[in-house]
Amino acid sequence: MKKGTNRPAKKKPKRARAVADDEILPEYDFTRAGPNRFAREYVSGANVVTLDPDVAAVFPDAESVNRALRALAGVIQDAVRKHPAGGINR
């Protein structure tokens, strides 16, 4: 004769409630959400890039970042013209 065990019966996992594709799940709370301050930039087709804090300290605004990138692009283009076969050391 087998001895019985004193283990409780296994509980069945709760099934997730079926949610329509356009329904927000109850665990999401948007009561404190605000408008997206970058939405205008996305709509206009701008590329939004996040700078690391140390880089952002050097470039306080978009104009200074663009100026630096244009200068760097000029240096790269000059180097490619001088070494068209890809002879630039990387």
pLDDT in tens, 38-80: 787 777 767 778 899 999 999 988 899 999 999 999 999 999 9
CA atoms of 46 and 40, how far apart (whole Å): 9
For the chain, the farthest-separated pair of C-alpha atoms sits apart, in whole angstroms, at 91
CA atoms of 84 and 87, how far apart (whole Å): 7
Residue type, 52: D
Q: What is the pLDDT of residue 8?
A: 67
pLDDT tens-digit series, residues 17-26: 666 777 788 7
CA atoms of 61 and 53, how far apart (whole Å): 13
Q: What is the pLDDT of residue 87?
A: 57
Q: What is the pLDDT of residue 76?
A: 94
pTM of the model: 0.44
